[in-house]
Structure 1
Amino acid sequence: MMNRFTYSVLVCLLFVSNTLLAQSRTVNGTVKDATGSGVPGAGVKIKGTTKGTSTGAAGEFKLDGVAENATLEISAIGYETQSVSVPASGDLSIILKDAATSLDEVVISVGSRNSKRTLTDTPLPIDIVSTADLKSTGQTTFDKALQYRVPSFNTVQTPVNDATSLLDPYEIRNMGPSRTLILINGKRKNSSALTYIQTSPGRGESGADISAIPTEAIKRVEILRDGASAQYGSDAIAGVMNIILKDRFEYGSVTLNSGVTHKGDGGVAGITLNNGANFGEKGYINYTVGLSHVGLANRPGVVSAEAEADGDLGFGAPLSDVQAFLKLKPDAGNINGSPETAAAKFSVNGGVGIGANSELYYTGAYVFKKVNSFANYRTPYWRTSDDGLLHAAGTPYLGYVPTFEGDLNDYNGTIGVRSEKNGWKSDVSFTVGGNKQLYTVSNSRNRGLGKNSPIQFKPGGYEFSHKVGNIDLSKALSEKVNLSVGSEFRAEEFTIIAGDTASYATAPGADSFPGISAANAKTSTRYNFGAYVGLGIDITKDFLIDGTARLEKYSDFGNAFVWKISSRYKFADDKVTLRASISTGFRAPSMAQSNLQLAQASFVPGQGIQTKGIVNNNSPQAFLLGVPKLKAENSVNFTAGLGLNPTKNFSATLDFYSIKVDNRIILSSEIAAGSGAQAAALNKILEDNGIVAVSFFVNGINTLTQGLDFVANYKNVVLGKGKLAFNFAGNYTLKNAKVGEALTPSLIKAAGQSIIDATQEALLLTSRPKYKAILGVDYVVGKMNFNVNNTLFGPTTFRQNGLNANLKTVFDPKIVTDLGANFQLGKSLTLGLNINNLFNIMPKWNLVALNAAGEAILKDPKQVFFNTNLITFNGRYSNVTYDGSHFSQLGTTFAANLNLRF
């Protein structure tokens, strides 16, 4: 495959070289807007060919090899594309007109199904992130690039968390990964098959695998920061992310990516081809193929021998034995940081005209990703024997480190027809999508099988798929009234895949990841039908009201009715906009939350690795514990904001949001046998069913999340021969808290236990930064572009399992500085360089007292020693703690990319 790909690139380069030799004319010109300011980054292409260039900081360009009778096409985001004949002189001055639809299309696709609105007119807060913005971060994946461009978006890798290493949990506005709806070209993307069940942010939820989307395939990203259940149905409580793929073909490109951390690990190597073709005025195809490999980056800590030998913190082993091993391996052999990842990605976006008023369109994407990570090292004083399976006879037994390997397949595709007739616009489409994950555990053993245990296991996995049909219709009933109606049918399937028998046959199962038993393997299905109606009314040219109502019917839990009203009013010659919206929303329980049942292995501070269980809500055990069937979450969203555009070079928005969620679905804390007479009833049920400790999904809490979003941009500041642009964006969480008491089933509550403990509450509500801000400066001069971005990560708070109840763990605010530069080396060659985390800032956490008792603990070195080692697994996770942190722990990284256009 690689040889064919390389051959294709060489053929393309040879074709370009022959074209250059056959043409020799040079055209010089400038591209400006209606105010006379130069338009940087505009595309200048010879019509009918793939040959072209882009403008510099002042809108200037130079294009060689242009035929005498050639026509140039000039395009830029926010402007109408223009075709210009080349004059005899070869010099051009082009004035671009503001686009009547390009930016309007951005808003209609995520903000409203009614009339088109420009960004300054929109009644809802929307972020627009271009491909150039994403690539300028130097990050290796789409989700990590968003982390450094959108303040309300957060994601970070967590150490040694099994399947979590395949895709990291992300969220907008601290609402969890399952409350942001992901769209591809306006169509729902499938969720991941993985539900996060470990001690990490996003616990108990699933999200789409956005890291699988190749950045080079993206035209722009639209993020609607407002509830949108009325428009799109379930999962849009926190907002909507719409990923727009490249469409009309402008030029082909090959991009080479490389990078490495300051410690010389985590090496990046990748190659991506973006290419396509146009067919007449409406037909096009644009496709992207990418191959990448990211090496392992390891950031273990130094392990405390005293803590390891301690009976409460560690393993109760003789201190001399522990010291002897740690002398050989000071980090206890642990490997944590960033796993080795290899990926192959493909996407395609195309369309073809059907008659004068219709278009057939299609999109498709597929990714295969393989991740190799590691479990905690089983030291020889922890696992005292491997029965001769994992070390050679006659050699000292030094323990073993099990691997955790994951194979991920993710696909999605849409085919549809857009038409316009008699004033009606219609869009009929069918979408399929799926995600499958299979796991492998190597260099491990099932201790219950003794010498008969294999050392490699296939512990099973998960698969999710959906099929979605959409019909959307809209019509302008008058100059001031717009109507939209539509419906959606969705069928979903979730499969739990059993592992090989040896991975679960006897307790405790395979070290690292006990297999999924045949008894817990199952396939579940459901369907839902939804319909909406929307009305947009321009009361005046400045005053707009939009309203939408939606009804949903699910086969597994019932009905949902939601609505939304939004408005905006602009004045002072459109320089000031007031906007607000209020809506109700819902989120259906995911298929995994309704059906997942398994044994899981996880690290319990002070107790080591333990195997516990999850029972689903349809199980006899859940019925006996009084756990009710899951129902939909319900929300009330309110947003109010101000938009300012006092000059053509300055704009700013400030938005307040409030999101109240009732019946929020959580994965409960572990329910175990208690003491005392009041726990007798619970203890009997647990004992009769052989349950040591159990968790389950439940509509467990009500929450209220409130905050502020601020965005400001100031551009075209002349400095020397170039221009500066400043951008500042921030998110501040005013409140993210549980409202009222947990909704604990009566039997469990009577036993003095709760479905949510301090650890789970912290993961849900305080494990993302309380505030985050990004200050960026861009400088464009000639064919060079420089940028510096400072990202402030606010504090996060954890309450680890076993941590003294009078303490909490707080990660300090930190500023991460990134530098980037792009150099136009020739007409078709661009070099990009990035230094991320320039000053090698690492997460720093502290134990913080909650009260006077906590202050006394912090004054006692012995208790500080105990609690510090408890949350770091005796020093294995000294950088980030086992629960993770608010940003990456790899330190300074270097990245470079070389882009060749043809």
Structure 2
Amino acid sequence: MKRTSLSLALASVFAVPMTGFAQSGSTGESEVSTADRIQVIGSRLSLRTATESSAPVDIITGEELLAAGFTETGRALQYAIPSYNFPTSSITDGSDAVRPASLRGLSPDHTLVLINGKRRHTSALVHLNGTTGRGSSNADLNAIPISAIKRIEVLRDGAAAQYGSDAIAGVINIVLRDQTEGGHFGVSYGQTYQGDGEQIKLQGSLGINLFDQGGLTLSFEYQDRNRTNRAGLDPRQQYPLLEDGSLDPREEEFNRRSHHVGDAEYTNSSLFFNTFYQLEHGELYGFGGWSARTTESGAFYRRALDERNLIEVYPDGFLPILQPDVNDASVAAGYRFDLGDWHADASVVYGESEFIYNVKNTLNASLGPDSPTEFNAGTLVADEFTANFEISRSYPFANYSELSVALGTSYRRNSYKIIAGEEESYLDGGFEDRPAGSQGFTGFSPDSEIRQSRDNIGVFAEVENQLTDQFRWGAALRFEDYSDFGSHTSWKLSGRYDVTDQLAFRATTNTGFRAPSVQQLYFTNISTLFVNRDGELVPEQSGTFNNVSAVARELEIGNLQPEESRSLSVGAVWNGDNGLSVSVDAFQIQIDDRIILSSSLIPSDSEAVASALAAAGADNARFFVNAVDTTTRGIDVVVAQQYDLGAWGRLRAQAAYGYNETEIDRITVPEILGGLESRLFDNVERTRMTESVPRHTGSLSFNHQLNAWTTHLGFTYFGDYTLENNQGLRTTFSGKWITDLSFQYQVSERLTAKFGAQNLFDVYPDKQRPENQFNGIFLYPNTNAPFGFNGGYYYAELRYRF
């Protein structure tokens, strides 16, 4: 069958979620005990607890996510799993609204996110500034409300052979609430010790019985948060000198805390649903959600004497405010049924992310004093449609065992759009040779507009067998064919041997891949910037050029190819009779042809670069390119113990430790750019890839229940990390311990009250070296702070169950 015909045929079939209501029947909310925690991720063929799996899996219940009072899903997950990194950034454009996150120290786009076992679409935003995962796009976990989550399963192992592209570092599967009656409503309020960052959150869920044949769960959240600000005072001269050469008297009255360095102000609303309905021969199911977020974060302050300012508009200067609207929606529907001796599952999923750049309190200086002060600077849109069909059954096998078999096929289509902003946001009006474009974020011009898509077809087979009482093995094979770069095949082998009822060893080995995202393939942002050349401001055509642009063709960049990985994981598990469980897993992940966003190339770099830029009419350019091979090694340790303290209640203690280290094995560039390795991938980016994430992370938590009281005490360690600036200055920030404490009281059968503190002892990161503080304004690292720089935060919460 021709590929186009196969694409059309598969577009009409459905996919299979492997979780959701696979264990339906819950009539309300209940905390799942360690022994009963059913693990689904990592195997389509078995339901096991986390310690019985062949690969390392963390399972976090919804109650555990709420234990420390975190209001963001990404932040709550970071404190629950040491190998998950969710750093804080500020003054990083769109990344202030959608933050990057990573697993095992790899890139954000090396982790696949699922909801109810189905692939989640990624954000339309591309991280372009100095954050973790520069040049990547990731799924926005904060678009998924904690109130909708029943549990989160985190597979810390490569799984591209099972789930497709992106699952190099692991898989995060979010299982939605599935109650058929009852629900809850909660309200919380908190603020930092310094009195800013005030936030209120309303959240709840409702379970509805559907004629005793199914259920519908609705979950919602509304969150409103004020900004935090940890900027230092700006000591610089703000106003032009007077005619006699003296300082303007307004210098004495100027508010020197002119910058905003901290969490963005934002409002976020979300609504999710999860449903199923039993029919005579099968089960219908569906899930999905919507979220809308508006944030406000600052850019760099434009002083009154700055040429980017017009004193007729802002006599005291101005702080441009980025105010993006981030909209996210998804829906899935499917049918689960028997097909002869086979169990069949079919579904379709659609998701869309929209990122609208709005800028206010700004101007386009080239338009003169009549410039608008608010702009729509353009919109990014990414959407994804997926259709899968899967069947599974068991066959008699050796030693009177059974061989479980799963077969499936999938079709996926990804699209990406860049919509130009309003004309004033990018126009050069020519006023006094002032810089063009909206200050803070220059709008997307029509030259940047693009509407592109790509599709792929995949087929897979997975087998699993309990060969003996002690030995279990599994294998998976997946083939995918993409419309842009071709095909790829990946495989996985896993095994587990139970030495005794308490001790087991496990291992996996696999190959994987990550297809270049449509964002990396087609993102373009071209703008006219005024650059100081020998004391004179000259306009330059600058920006990010995609790989189908004239610049990329002239430099023979070529089409982006998939990143390819080889992974190995070995570990041991101990389950004691006294409630003690221990798991230790070591891993190695080798990735070839990692995609990076290059530094900007300029004509002086080489004759070839000068010729290519001239032919394309550009003055400098950066682009995405396969350029780096890396090896990441690490170890994860989890120890948990349950205690029955008799009259003193019950205690659950858990200690976790994660270590990861990434090394660069090789840097390769197109032949025409030979000798420019240090320009394409400079020391700043090398340090960001290998040292900007703590190599050592750990946690120690205690949950104690006594009568109506529940106490949570958590200690989290974020190890040292290193950043480097463009002048070659390296700064290492020391590791810190963060303490969280909360108390919950069961006021009545339905009402609970909680109060507590995050970062109880008001710990801050090390301050930056004076050379990196930008005149004392950036006191703390503003791009990669693993636990932020807000200090302590206290809160209170009321929760009502019905």
Fold in common (TM above 0.5): yes
What residue in structure 2 maps to residue 492 of structure 1? 414
Q: After TM superposition, give the deviation of residue 216 of structure 1 in Å.
A: 1.0
Structure with bigger gyration radius: 1
Q: After TM superposition, give the deviation of residue 766 of structure 1 in Å.
A: 1.5
Residue among 339, 342, 363 paired with 1:445: 363
- Residue 374 of structure 1 aligns with an amino acid whose one-letter code is G
CA contact (8 A) 2:555 2:608 kept: no
Q: Does 1:77 align with 2:32?
A: yes
Give runs of aligned pairs for residues 441-480 of structure 1, distance below 5 A: 441-478=359-396, 479-480=401-402
Structure 2 CA distance for partners of 1:301 and 1:498, relative to 1, 3 Å: same
CA contact (8 A) 2:471 2:495 kept: yes
Structure 2 CA distance for partners of 1:370 and 1:611, relative to 1, 3 Å: farther
**1:337-382 alpha-carbon deviations (Å, 9 max, x no partner):** 0111111100000000011x41100002000111111211111233
Residue among 624, 628, 632 paired with 2:562: 632
Q: After TM superposition, give the deviation of residue 527 of structure 1 in Å.
A: 0.6
What residue in structure 1 maps to residue 631 of structure 2? 704
Residue among 95, 120, 123 paired with 2:51: 120
Residue among 743, 767, 773 paired with 2:692: 767
Structure 2 CA distance for partners of 1:418 and 1:602, relative to 1, 3 Å: farther
Q: Which secondary structure does the structure 1 equivalent of 2:722 belong to?
A: strand
Equivalents in 1 of 2:692, 2:248: separation in Å? 33
Q: Does 1:161 align with 2:92?
A: yes
Structure 2 CA distance for partners of 1:595 and 1:76, relative to 1, 3 Å: closer
Residue among 631, 651, 656 paired with 1:724: 651
Give runs of aligned pairs for residues 810-829 of structure 1, distance below 5 A: 810-829=732-751
What residue in structure 2 maps to residue 692 of structure 1? 619
Residue among 583, 587, 599 paired with 1:653: 583
Equivalents in 2 of 1:49, 1:878: separation in Å? 50
What residue in structure 2 maps to residue 172 of structure 1? 103
Q: Which secondary structure does the structure 1 equivalent of 2:251 belong to?
A: helix
Q: After TM superposition, give the deviation of residue 566 of structure 1 in Å.
A: 0.4
Residue among 708, 720, 726 paired with 1:801: 726
Equivalents in 2 of 1:517, 1:683: separation in Å? 24
What residue in structure 1 maps to residue 14 of structure 2? none
Structure 2 CA distance for partners of 1:377 and 1:305, relative to 1, 3 Å: closer
Give runs of aligned pairs for residues 63-212 of structure 1, distance below 5 A: 77=32, 103-104=37-38, 106=39, 109-212=40-143
Equivalents in 2 of 1:451, 1:688: separation in Å? 36
CA contact (8 A) 1:702 1:739 kept: yes
**Percent pairwise identity:** 31
Q: Does 1:665 align with 2:590?
A: no
Q: After TM superposition, give the deviation of residue 539 of structure 1 in Å.
A: 1.6
Q: Does 1:885 align with 2:785?
A: yes
Q: After TM superposition, give the deviation of residue 166 of structure 1 in Å.
A: 1.4
- Residue 832 of structure 1 aligns with an amino acid whose one-letter code is K
Q: After TM superposition, give the deviation of residue 318 of structure 1 in Å.
A: 13
Q: Which secondary structure does the structure 2 equivalent of 1:519 belong to?
A: helix
Equivalents in 2 of 1:338, 1:273: separation in Å? 25
Equivalents in 1 of 2:759, 2:247: separation in Å? 40
- Residue 796 of structure 2 aligns with an amino acid whose one-letter code is A
Q: After TM superposition, give the deviation of residue 234 of structure 1 in Å.
A: 0.4
CA contact (8 A) 2:541 2:617 kept: no
What residue in structure 2 maps to residue 362 of structure 1? 286
Equivalents in 2 of 1:137, 1:603: separation in Å? 48
Q: After TM superposition, give the deviation of residue 658 of structure 1 in Å.
A: 0.7
Q: Which secondary structure does the structure 2 equivalent of 1:686 belong to?
A: helix
What residue in structure 2 maps to residue 737 of structure 1? 663
Structure 2 CA distance for partners of 1:901 and 1:611, relative to 1, 3 Å: farther
Equivalents in 2 of 1:270, 1:318: separation in Å? 55
Structure 2 CA distance for partners of 1:217 and 1:463, relative to 1, 3 Å: same
- Residue 772 of structure 1 aligns with an amino acid whose one-letter code is T
Q: Which secondary structure does the structure 2 equivalent of 1:148 belong to?
A: helix
Equivalents in 2 of 1:276, 1:338: separation in Å? 34
Give runs of aligned pairs for residues 550-629 of structure 1, distance below 5 A: 550-572=478-500, 574-599=501-526, 612-629=542-559
CA contact (8 A) 1:302 1:878 kept: no
- Residue 532 of structure 1 aligns with an amino acid whose one-letter code is F
Equivalents in 2 of 1:575, 1:878: separation in Å? 51
Equivalents in 2 of 1:348, 1:618: separation in Å? 40
Equivalents in 1 of 2:117, 2:648: separation in Å? 41
CA contact (8 A) 2:402 2:466 kept: yes
Q: After TM superposition, give the deviation of residue 159 of structure 1 in Å.
A: 1.0
Q: Which secondary structure does the structure 1 equivalent of 2:130 belong to?
A: coil
Equivalents in 2 of 1:601, 1:326: separation in Å? 36
CA contact (8 A) 2:304 2:311 kept: no
Structure 2 CA distance for partners of 1:49 and 1:193, relative to 1, 3 Å: closer
- Residue 516 of structure 2 aligns with an amino acid whose one-letter code is P
Deviates more, 1:272-281 or 1:646-655: 272-281
What residue in structure 2 maps to residue 873 of structure 1? 774
- Residue 674 of structure 1 aligns with an amino acid whose one-letter code is S
Q: Does 1:789 align with 2:718?
A: no
Give 5+ residue unaligned stretches, structure 2: 1-24, 429-434
Equivalents in 2 of 1:895, 1:745: separation in Å? 54
Deviates more, 1:195-204 or 1:473-482: 473-482
Q: Does 1:516 align with 2:434?
A: no
CA contact (8 A) 2:419 2:450 kept: yes
CA contact (8 A) 2:392 2:405 kept: yes
Deviates more, 1:812-821 or 1:683-692: 683-692
Q: Does 1:544 align with 2:504?
A: no
Q: After TM superposition, give the deviation of residue 616 of structure 1 in Å.
A: 0.4
Give runs of aligned pairs for residues 214-225 of structure 1, distance below 5 A: 214-225=145-156
What residue in structure 1 maps to residue 228 of structure 2? 297
Q: Which secondary structure does the structure 1 equivalent of 2:612 belong to?
A: helix
**1:585-638 alpha-carbon deviations (Å, 9 max, x no partner):** 000000010011113799999999998410000111111122121010000011
CA contact (8 A) 2:231 2:260 kept: yes
**1:543-582 alpha-carbon deviations (Å, 9 max, x no partner):** 011000000000011100000000000122x201100000
Q: After TM superposition, give the deviation of residue 299 of structure 1 in Å.
A: 1.2
CA contact (8 A) 1:158 1:168 kept: yes
Give runs of aligned pairs for residues 317-356 of structure 1, distance below 5 A: 321=247, 325=251, 328-331=254-257, 333-355=258-280
CA contact (8 A) 1:159 1:884 kept: no
Q: After TM superposition, give the deviation of residue 541 of structure 1 in Å.
A: 1.6
CA contact (8 A) 1:305 1:323 kept: no
Q: After TM superposition, give the deviation of residue 49 of structure 1 in Å.
A: 13
Residue among 346, 349, 352 paired with 1:431: 349
Q: After TM superposition, give the deviation of residue 795 of structure 1 in Å.
A: 0.8
How many residues are matched? 764
Equivalents in 1 of 2:262, 2:175: separation in Å? 32
Q: After TM superposition, give the deviation of residue 330 of structure 1 in Å.
A: 2.5
Give runs of aligned pairs for residues 385-424 of structure 1, distance below 5 A: 385-386=309-310, 388-390=312-314, 397-424=315-342
What residue in structure 1 maps to residue 571 of structure 2? 641
- Residue 214 of structure 2 aligns with an amino acid whose one-letter code is G
Equivalents in 2 of 1:322, 1:812: separation in Å? 42
Q: After TM superposition, give the deviation of residue 487 of structure 1 in Å.
A: 1.0
Structure 2 CA distance for partners of 1:728 and 1:204, relative to 1, 3 Å: same
CA contact (8 A) 2:601 2:609 kept: no
Structure 2 CA distance for partners of 1:624 and 1:321, relative to 1, 3 Å: farther
CA contact (8 A) 1:744 1:754 kept: no
**1:147-204 alpha-carbon deviations (Å, 9 max, x no partner):** 1111011112211111112111000011111111110100111110001011111110
Please tell me the root mean square deviation across aligned C-alpha atoms, in Å.
Answer: 2.8
Q: After TM superposition, give the deviation of residue 264 of structure 1 in Å.
A: 1.2
